[in-house]
Amino acid sequence: MSATRNPSADDATASPTDDLSKEERLTRYLREKIDEGEMYFKSKFIANEVELSPKEIGALMVKLSDSTAELSVEKWSYTSATTWRVEQA
């Protein structure tokens, strides 16, 4: 017997972030959070919300600080982990 795909069952369990790249997922999250102003955060505190590891977030933040014109990304401080400051550019 061959297994058949049940599209409705698969679609129901799919996360809304499944079709976004890691960078797109993080950028979308940051844009939503800074609508009201600047944001300070440590990667480990947002990891679950964006479904990425703190290490992945750190690497993406460095990339975003160099490549995005819509966000102003700055390493703010380092005490046990980097604190990032993000605001609209």
Q: Taking all residues of the chain, what is their mean pLDDT, rounded to a whole number?
A: 82
Q: What are phi and psi of 64, to 5 degrees?
A: -65, -35
Residue 8 pLDDT > 80: no
Query: pLDDT > 90: what percent of the chain?
Result: 56
Domain boundaries, the chain: 37-89
Helix (H, G, I), strand (E, B) or coil at 78: strand
Does pTM top 0.85 for this prediction? no
Alpha-carbon 39 to chain mean position: 13
Residue with tokens 């964006």: 50
Residue with tokens 């996360």: 15
Sheet holding 82-88, edge to edge: 39-42, 82-88, 71-78
Per-residue pLDDT at 18: 58
